[in-house]
Amino acid sequence: MPRIALISDIHANLEAFDAVLRDIAGCAVDQVVCLGDIVGYGPDPVRCVELAFTVCDKIILGNHDEAVVNEAMSRRFNQRAQVSIQITRQLLPDEHVNLLATLPDMAKVEDLTAAHASFGPHQYEYLYCTESASRSFFGLRTRLGAVGHTHVPSMFTSLEGAHDILNQIEILPLAGSVAMPLPEDRQTIINPGSVGQPRDRNPDASWGLLDTESNTFQIKRVAYDIDSVGDKIARLGLPDFLGERLRVGA
């Protein structure tokens, strides 16, 4: 039974990605699964794409990855994200763009289904509340699901077949490094948070360790050189806000 490292929302932050991969290397994992958004926002899309396609066993398409491939997608973004996608396109060679274009919307690893944001009818819906979780659980066909997109570590559980009963859905924020037991009698969706742009007021890079033998999920946090990333963001002409938010984890 595998130990799976779940990573998501790298967002071209090479320093954070390197730090997380060093941490993963010390945890004896069997597979590394990336839940999407390798690029966008950050200053190192080329190296992050190369690294992800080297170390990850499975990679899911994220909305920022898709926006690099499909210009119409980027027009849905706010102004800062649009600027980031434009600069990302300028930096990425065609071969890297073509790699992103091959990524699937979902993938399965044993009894886990991985997606970037949701298993419901809206591919990139944010899972923050019981209503959005209900829609996602309705489309989940395995006991476990894993998503990113919100940049916030979290866990949702639901009685199987009771997804439309909102009071049967539990939302559990995840913090620290406690291994949370996964309920055997409920479906569960886990979110490892963000490698490259955490938004839970903790600036440390975040990833998740899913142990399918002990049936637990644990959030891991890793410090990295945020100032170096901020300097790169400024030199590239990316919006200053993208560097500032890294320092506060928001």
**Residue 40 burial (10 A CB sphere; 0-12, 13-18, 19+):** buried
Which domains does the chain show, CATH number per domain?
3-248 (3.60.21.10)
* Residue 95, both tokens: 């071969």
What per-residue confidence (pLDDT) applies to 163? Answer: 59
* Cβ contact 157:172 at 8 Å: yes
Please provide the size of the chain in residues: 250
The three-state DSSP-derived secondary structure of 208-220 is EEEECCCCEEEEE
- Cβ neighbours of residue 245 closer than 8 Å, sequence gap 6 or more: 197, 199
Radius of gyration of the chain (CA): 17
What per-residue confidence (pLDDT) applies to 160? Answer: 76
* Residue 79, both tokens: 């102004």
What per-residue confidence (pLDDT) applies to 78? Answer: 94
* Residue 206, both tokens: 């975040």
pLDDT in tens, the chain (250 residues): 589 999 999 999 999 999 999 999 999 999 999 999 999 999 999 999 999 999 999 999 999 999 999 999 999 999 999 999 999 999 999 999 999 999 999 999 989 999 999 999 999 999 999 999 999 999 999 999 999 999 999 999 998 766 566 678 999 878 767 789 999 989 999 999 999 999 999 999 999 999 999 999 999 999 999 999 999 999 999 999 999 999 999 9
Dist. CA 153–CA 55, nearest whole Å = 22
pTM value?
0.96
Kind and range of the H or E run holding 234: helix 226-236
What per-residue confidence (pLDDT) applies to 175? Answer: 73
What per-residue confidence (pLDDT) applies to 1? Answer: 55
Dist. CA 89–CA 79, nearest whole Å = 15
What per-residue confidence (pLDDT) applies to 164? Answer: 62
